Amino acid sequence: MQSDNPTAAILVIGDEILSGRTREGNAHHLAQVLNATGFDLREIRVVSDNQDQIVAAVRALDSSLGGTYDLLFTSGGIGPTHDDITADAVAAAHGTTVEVSPDARALLQARCDRMGVELTPNRLRMARIPVGATLIDNAVSAAPGFSIGHTHVMAGVPEVFRAMVDWLIPRLAGGRPVQSLSVEVRRGESDVAEGLTEIAAAFPDLSLGSYPFRDHDVWGTHLVVRGLDGARVAEAMGALKQRLSL
Amino acid sequence: MQSDNPTAAILVIGDEILSGRTREGNAHHLAQVLNATGFDLREIRVVSDNQDQIVAAVRALDSSLGGTYDLLFTSGGIGPTHDDITADAVAAAHGTTVEVSPDARALLQARCDRMGVELTPNRLRMARIPVGATLIDNAVSAAPGFSIGHTHVMAGVPEVFRAMVDWLIPRLAGGRPVQSLSVEVRRGESDVAEGLTEIAAAFPDLSLGSYPFRDHDVWGTHLVVRGLDGARVAEAMGALKQRLSL
């Protein structure tokens, strides 16, 4: 698919995904948001709560550090416990250190005051932000995310992650949203492959995908046309339906 | 967590994940299987149906090509359509080419004979296997996966992926399964962080994780102890419960 939209990657940080305990959902949510707001998501990585792995991935993915993509979004590892090392690792990748941010501290203090609890050293850990970063606010938790370079660091708890995405994405400069049309056929992929190849060749500016599925032992295929120009997408879908006699 | 189990990565190939159309589930399934069969899953990557991206990822992840992990499992892109380029890309990464495999062709021919359909050129595309690879059989689809170097290539359709995992994993030499115990507490992470840090320091051979959640606006935390020695895991969980007065 031809696109001059900003490119993006997502880095998910968390042993709980790699152990199979948790099925990842934050990247799926953000993928939908990014496609709808004009960002071209090219890669997702999941790494463990390991400093070296996180530093290497941030450097490989963030273009401000010589990495591949215009934007990098991370999920997970910014809580108050010993295994929450994302802030330190992202700071290291960006060649800076972590300090308690007065702004983040104020957010946490206000929340603690409202709840009538003490801002303990463990709670204060969540105000540790890389020097030079700006905060990502959210409506659910007082603990903020942060942006540094082209890296945007968000929480792993799904409700907090989504609240941070809601806050952050409108503040970034996206391109054109992806338009897509799909049709379901009760044929196997092999029986639509030839027509699909022809139409894909005739519309090189678009992406034509075929996604096989099984329903009660019968094979079917979802055909999806994607692109930035809605009229072209509609034209290609029309041509595809005609070619496959749908 | 101390482990001398073989290390592993999963590479998911598919625009449908990056577009947000499909929520990834194959890696989640395989993560559970790997942890239960003595493999140490360290990384998951999702890339698009793009030759350069797949080649680069296979080279980075497969130790037989100088990459990081003992084993690499892939999901997706081995069907009969124009966007199914995994076999070609994996062959290129391993410095070989793709040919119609007589064994794979025989599997497809037998299936076509049973179904009374013709083995068309499009169906035959699914017998294109890198030279030097061995086949991965499955009970659902006639189209096989394959293994080359330390890379094991499987289908993206979940039922077929799982059938290939069922066939493949018992044929690989795993280590010791991960043992884990977990407990749910109705406290936020900040309130258990100190005790958790102490117990983690006392059991450096284990992994102690804390996973916050929200339930009707109340914060809770799942505490998980993981390791290869069940007795040590039980000992650590006992110490953790005592420390947190559970």
pLDDT digits (tens, 9 = 90+) for A116-153: 999 999 899 999 999 999 999 998 888 999 999 999 99
- State the count of interchain CB pairs (< 8 A) between A and B: 171
So what's the pLDDT on residue B51?
Answer: 97
Return the closest-CA partner of residue A172 out of A199, A132, A144, A136: A136
Which residues in chain A are closer than 8 Å to B43, comparing Cβ atoms? 18, 45-48, 53
For chain B, say whether A21 makes contact (Cβ under 8 Å).
yes
Over range A177-185, report the average pLDDT: 96
Over range B45-56, report the average pLDDT: 97
Residue B200, both tokens = 């983690």
So what's the pLDDT on residue A1?
Answer: 82
Over range A172-183, report the average pLDDT: 95
ipTM of the complex: 0.95
For chain A, say whether B35 makes contact (Cβ under 8 Å).
yes
Residues 6+ apart with CB under 8 A from A49: A13, A14, A15, A77, A83, A84, A85, B209
pLDDT digits (tens, 9 = 90+) for A204-219: 999 999 999 888 888 8
Whether the predicted pLDDT of B142 surpasses 90? no
Pinpoint the residues of chain B covered by CATH 3.30.70.600.
179-243
Residue type at B59? R
So what's the pLDDT on residue B77?
Answer: 95
Pinpoint the residues of chain B covered by CATH 3.40.980.10.
7-171
Which residue of A lies nearest to B11 if distances are taken between CA atoms?
Answer: A45
Nearest CB to B200 within list A32, A41, A82: A82
Whether the predicted pLDDT of B163 surpasses 90? yes
Return the closest-CA partner of residue B241 out of B199, B187, B178: B199
Give residue A49's Cα distance to chain centre: 18
Q: In A37-76, which ranges are continuous DSSP H helix?
A: 51-61
For chain B, say whether A51 makes contact (Cβ under 8 Å).
no
Look-up: residue for tokens 């660091």? A153
Q: Which CATH architecture has domain B179-243?
A: 2-Layer Sandwich (3.30)
pLDDT digits (tens, 9 = 90+) for A78-94: 999 988 999 999 999 99
Question: What CATH code would you report for A7-171?
Answer: 3.40.980.10
